[in-house]
A = this chain, B = another copy of it.
Amino acid sequence: MLRRNAIVAAALDEFAEKGFAAARMEDIARRAGVAKGTIYLNFNDKEALFEAIVNQEMRPNVEALASKVAAGGSLRDFIHETLLPLVGDLARTRRGVVVRLLLSEAGRFPKLAEVYYQLVIGPALDSIRTLLQAKDRGELKAMMLLQFPQLLVAPIPMAVIWTGLFERFEHLDVERMAHAYFDFLLGEKPARRASSRKVRKARDE
């Protein structure tokens, strides 16, 4: 169903630029190269379009995460092979936009927050817990992460938010930030690099 995918992609772009309420179905249709009515052949309403975006863009990531955990590696491997790529992915692709979009609109669409929790957050945290219980009992960082596995992924919301809102005022290399964070978590010494701080134009305006 190429037609359907084109509509979802167009909707994501429009929602990302304007937000859910301010995005116009007509603009989505034009961007997808179809007529307004065609959208309604595939989706009941605007909200259904939103849910389709979440499903289409997030499900693959979560499934990848779950299978990585099921494959059973070390925490270190999990971080390097899964979490770090995920941060880069969110920073560079439209998936990051989906996350921000969700933050924006979840309040208005409670079902959406629930879907996201059931589909993404809950399983992801379960994966993390499983991993930690298997490997790292007793250490300080493991204790912290067992109680609050959310902390393992704390750089993710920070990265998504910074990229979306503040990047144009001050650059932040979110992948290196995540790298530094995970190195610290694992007690490893990071490679020396130049500071990532570069103040941008808007700051001086």
Question: Which residue numbers of A lie inside 8 Å of B, CB to CB?
Answer: 16-22, 100, 102-108, 113-114, 116-118, 121-122, 125, 140-141, 143-144, 146-148, 150-151, 153-155, 157-158, 161-162, 164-166, 169-170, 172, 176-177, 180-181, 183-184, 189-190, 193, 195-197, 202-203
Contacts and interface: CB of A to CB of B under 8 A. Distances in A.
Majority SS at the chain A contact face: helix
B22 A203 contact: no
Nearest to A113: B165
Contacts of A196: 147-148
Given A170-B122, A196-B147, A106 B165 contact: yes
A143 B190 contact: yes
A151 B155 contact: yes
Contacts of A113: 165-166, 169
